[in-house]
């Protein structure tokens, strides 16, 4: 498999790297708390103007007609510079609409989303529950003449198949990153014993918490198509965050090596101690494993956007590699790695957050194990 970039991909990489450098946070100018970053409208506008949101979508809906490999290239550069935007979330929402919406919904919604006019983010997670592609407590109901009533089973599916209006959602979604900056949400909700996709405008948002109280919604496509749409949309989001993590690792390693070369202990640079250089070499191995895994993931999704195996493999590798590189970067920097003014701590915080985004390492290991059909038993924890 050839992971070499062609001339157009190299040009895209250079352009995004320059854009990211212009919009990178300046941690050297005052305290910057480590933690979830607020949406940066200036960076968002720059990303939209360059067409990065449109990369993997067809030209018939306002896309650029590129591929998921280009998405990986762009997200890596954004992660390297720690640009704080809802890039992965917007791609996921666009993927849900592209793969799950009707022709009319795709034509109506995607152009504004892909050119950055509208910010739509997905709402999957529910408080008190582990990550799942299925909705649990958030339910869809049909509104009667008076009070709303729950609808179940085939009645619900019949009522919500391609429905325009007459649907409300009830429940809470949390955490929903960038919900407070979004114009609309794509929400998963129970429809009988299955999960449907709904477009919501007007939910009550408080930070990352979204409250739905008989909130009007519009079904995206049919319940029959929702499962495959969710898989494809989330695959796109996972590709974006794993590539972002690759960029964070690619930034943390050179910073660590440079520190080892310049910081002196007992009159000699830290790099003179073989144990420390060996630890840096191990970080390099983890980084290159992550790089080849993300590029493979991008190529696999370009061939099959529903390929959950490739994304779960990438999520596991990135989770393990990111934890290794981030923790080693902090330890080899000593106390300076924990200061708010130094970027390596922020990269590690983001790597930790990414490990728990769209399912953590254990969840994806379990999904990979569930796909095995030639083993009677698989024990992941020993």
Question: Which residue ranges make up each domain of the chain?
Answer: 7-115, 120-223, 228-372
The three-class DSSP label of residue 5 is: coil
Higher pLDDT, residue 265 or 251: 251
User: pTM of the entire structure?
Assistant: 0.90
Burial of residue 153, with CB atoms counted within 10 A of its CB: 0-12 exposed, 13-18 middle, 19 or more buried: exposed
Please, are residues 283 and 348 in contact by the beta-carbon 8 Å criterion? Answer: no
- CATH of segment(s) 120-223: 2.40.110.10
Strands, E, within the chain: which ranges?
120-123, 139-142, 149-150, 167-173, 184-191, 194-200, 204-206, 209-219, 264-265, 268-269
pLDDT of residue 144: 31
What's the pLDDT at 31?
55
Superfamily of domain 228-372: Butyryl-CoA Dehydrogenase, subunit A, domain 3 (1.20.140.10)
Centre a 10 Å sphere on the Cβ of residue 328 and count the other Cβ atoms it contains: 21
Our measurement of the distance from residue 43's CA atom to the centroid of its chain's CA atoms, rounded to an integer in Å, reads 17
Q: What are the pLDDT digits (tens) for 97-135?
A: 999 999 999 999 999 999 999 999 999 999 999 999 999
Pick the CATH number of 7-115 from 2.30.33.40, 3.40.190.80, 1.10.540.10, 3.10.20.30: 1.10.540.10
Is residue 282 predicted with pLDDT exceeding 80? yes
Question: Using alpha carbons only, what angle is made at residue 89 by residues 62 and 167, rounded to the nearest 5 degrees?
Answer: 85
- pLDDT tens digits, one per residue of 172-181: 999 999 999 9
Higher pLDDT, 165 or 288: 288
Percent of the chain with pLDDT over 70: 88
| DSSP single-letter state for residue 380 | S
CA 274 vs CA 254, 260, 277, 313, 332: distances in Å: 17, 11, 5, 33, 13
């Amino acid at each position: 498999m050839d992971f070499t970039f062609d001339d157009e991909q190299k040009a895209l990489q250079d352009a995004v790297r320059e854009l990211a450098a212009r919009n990178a946070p300046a941690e050297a100018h005052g305290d910057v708390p480590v933690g979830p970053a607020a949406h940066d409208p200036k960076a968002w506008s720059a990303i939209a103007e360059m067409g990065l949101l449109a990369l993997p979508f067809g030209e018939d809906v306002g896309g650029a007609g590129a591929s998921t490999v280009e998405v990986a290239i762009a997200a890596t550069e954004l992660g390297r510079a720690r640009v704080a935007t809802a890039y992965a979330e917007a791609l996921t929402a666009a993927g849900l609409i592209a793969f799950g919406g009707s022709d009319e919904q795709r034509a109506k919604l995607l152009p504004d989303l892909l050119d950055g006019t509208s910010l739509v983010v997905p709402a999957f997670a529910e408080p008190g529950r582990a990550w799942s592609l299925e909705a649990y407590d958030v339910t869809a109901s049909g509104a009667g003449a008076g009070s709303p009533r729950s609808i179940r089973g085939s009645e619900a599916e019949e009522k919500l198949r391609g429905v325009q209006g007459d649907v409300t959602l009830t429940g809470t979604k949390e955490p929903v990153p960038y919900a407070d900056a979004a114009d609309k949400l794509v929400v998963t909700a129970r429809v009988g014993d299955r999960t449907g996709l709904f477009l919501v405008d007007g939910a009550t948002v408080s930070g990352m918490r979204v409250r739905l109280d008989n909130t009007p919604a519009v079904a995206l496509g049919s319940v029959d198509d929702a499962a495959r749409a969710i898989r494809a949309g989330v695959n796109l989001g996972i590709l974006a965050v794993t590539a972002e993590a690759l960029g964070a690792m690619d930034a943390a390693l050179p910073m660590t090596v440079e520190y080892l070369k310049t910081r002196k202990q007992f009159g000699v640079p830290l790099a003179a101690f073989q144990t420390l250089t060996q630890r840096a070499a191990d970080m390099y191995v983890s980084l290159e494993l992550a790089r080849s895994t993300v590029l493979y993931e991008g190529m696999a999704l370009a061939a099959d956007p529903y390929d959950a195996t490739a994304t779960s493999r990438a999520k596991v590798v990135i989770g393990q590699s990111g934890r290794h590189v981030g923790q080693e970067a902090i330890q080899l920097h000593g106390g300076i790695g924990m200061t708010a003014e130094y970027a390596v701590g922020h990269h590690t915080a983001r790597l930790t957050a990414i490990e728990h985004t769209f399912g953590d390492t254990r969840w994806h290991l379990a999904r990979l194990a569930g796909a095995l059909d030639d083993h009677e038993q698989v024990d992941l924890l020993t």
